[in-house]
Amino acid sequence: MTPTSSSHTLLMNKIMSLSMANRMYEPMLFNNNYVLELIELEFIKLDGRKVNPDLLLKNETLNRLLFVECKDGSLEPDQANRYKEMAMEDIIVAKLISNLSEESKHEITYIATDKKVEKLKIGMDKESLVFPILVSKDSIISLHHNHFDCGVLQEIFSRGVSSKRYSDTLYPFGADDSDAYILHRLVPALLSFIGGEFDPKDLLEKTFPRVYSIIGRPAQKELAGRIGHILEKAEKDKILSDFFITAVEKKFKLRAGGIRKLNNALNKYINGKLGSGSAQVDFSRF
């Protein structure tokens, strides 16, 4: 059985898929002019406090912005209150995106899975916050709590939006993902290094070029360290040990040839030995 991603990775990919053009499924947000603008944002408000929502969508037709926080767990009150105090002026002055004016509107929504959404709702009510909360349940994303200011969002999420099909290409994995899932997503890059030497950062750069380019050096090192640890365990395992040979210039080397055998062995190891548990090391957001 294929390992599954963390809830954070899943929710990120679902919202991104809904907000970009696609023929494979109906991107309901994109079709209603809410288009993905930025991911993994971080900016400073005028009061000097930092905000870092996961996603920003822009609706040029309605002159509106939607910030999305993929939060499969308890509410972080401090973070939520920073969102509450965020004004349009903060966004305009930060020059996050072009063509904004005092008339532009913004709102913030949280999204969680059905397993954790009640926790989030309780936290929200406790802080007397009124951010709309979306829930992803049975391949439908719908409004679970509070309401949107934007009538379009209120309408489409009150009805529910199908997310049965979504793409996981744009956000392969995050810090919350399990070792099994991360290795599973590294398989194509590993196959591409057959016969050659590589370091964990080479795998990351190949698999995750888009995100890898924006994460800072300490986070890069931390993530590469985790992947190094996953591979060190893998090369010692009897399923995979024959495929690894001594590297001279870099940390790892895979024996030349046998691409199908290596692919099968990696899948056997991932599904058999690693299982699909959650991350063993708690890494800060990268």
Partner 1 sequence: MSAIQRIGDTGDLRSYLEDVLDKKRYKKEEGEESTAFKGKIKTYLIESNSPNLNSLKQDRVLIKDTPDKNLKVFMFNKNGKNYELYLDTTDERFWRIYSLYESEKTQKIINNWVLRNNSKLDFVWFPSSLLEKYMGLGTETGFSLKYINKFSTNGDKRINVSMRFWGDGGKDILESLRKNTPMGKGTSLSGISLNYPVEKGFAKENISYFGRFTLLSATSIDAHFILLERIKRNYSNIIQMIESNHRVEGYKTGFGMRLKSNPLYIEFPKEIEDLEDFVNIVFSAKLPFRLSGTIEKSSDDFYRIHAVDLHSNGLVDFEVAPNLMAIYLNDKSCGNIIMRLVTNMQSFMDQKIKLVSNDDPDVFKSYSVNE
3-state secondary structure the chain: CCCCCCHHHHHHHHHHHHCCCCCCCCCHHHHCCEEEEEECCCEECCCCCEECCCEEEEECCCCEEEEEEECCCCCCHHHHHHHHCCCHHHHHHHCCCCCCCCCCEEEEEEEEECCCHHHHHHHHHHCCCCCCEEEEECCEEEEEECCCCCHHHHHHHHHCEECCCCCCCCCCCCCCCCHHHHHHHHHHHHHHCECCEECHHHHHHHHCHHHHCCCCHHHHHHHHHHHHHHHHHHHHCCCCHHHECCCCCCCEEECCCCHHHHHHHHHHHHHHHHCCCCCCCCCCCC
User: 154 or 267: whose CB is closer to partner 1?
Assistant: 267
User: 19 or 109: whose CB is closer to partner 1?
Assistant: 19
With CB under 8 A as the contact rule, the residue among 48, 78, 102, 164 that binds partner 1 is 164
Q: What part of residues 43-102 is at the interface with partner 1 (CB under 8 A)?
A: 43, 56, 94-96
Q: How far is the CB of 118 from partner 1 (least distance, A)?
A: 27
Q: Does residue 260 touch partner 1 according to CB under 8 A? A: yes
Q: How far is the CB of 171 from partner 1 (least distance, A)?
A: 9
With CB under 8 A as the contact rule, the residue among 11, 12, 39, 230 that binds partner 1 is 39
Only segment of 125-133, 155-163, 188-196, 275-283 that touches partner 1 (CB under 8 A): 188-196
Only segment of 22-30, 76-84, 145-153, 278-286 that touches partner 1 (CB under 8 A): 22-30
User: 55 or 80: whose CB is closer to partner 1?
Assistant: 55
Residues that bind partner 1 (CB under 8 A): 2, 16, 20-24, 36-43, 56, 94-96, 164-165, 167-170, 172, 184-185, 187-189, 191-192, 194-195, 206-207, 209-211, 213-214, 259-260, 263, 267
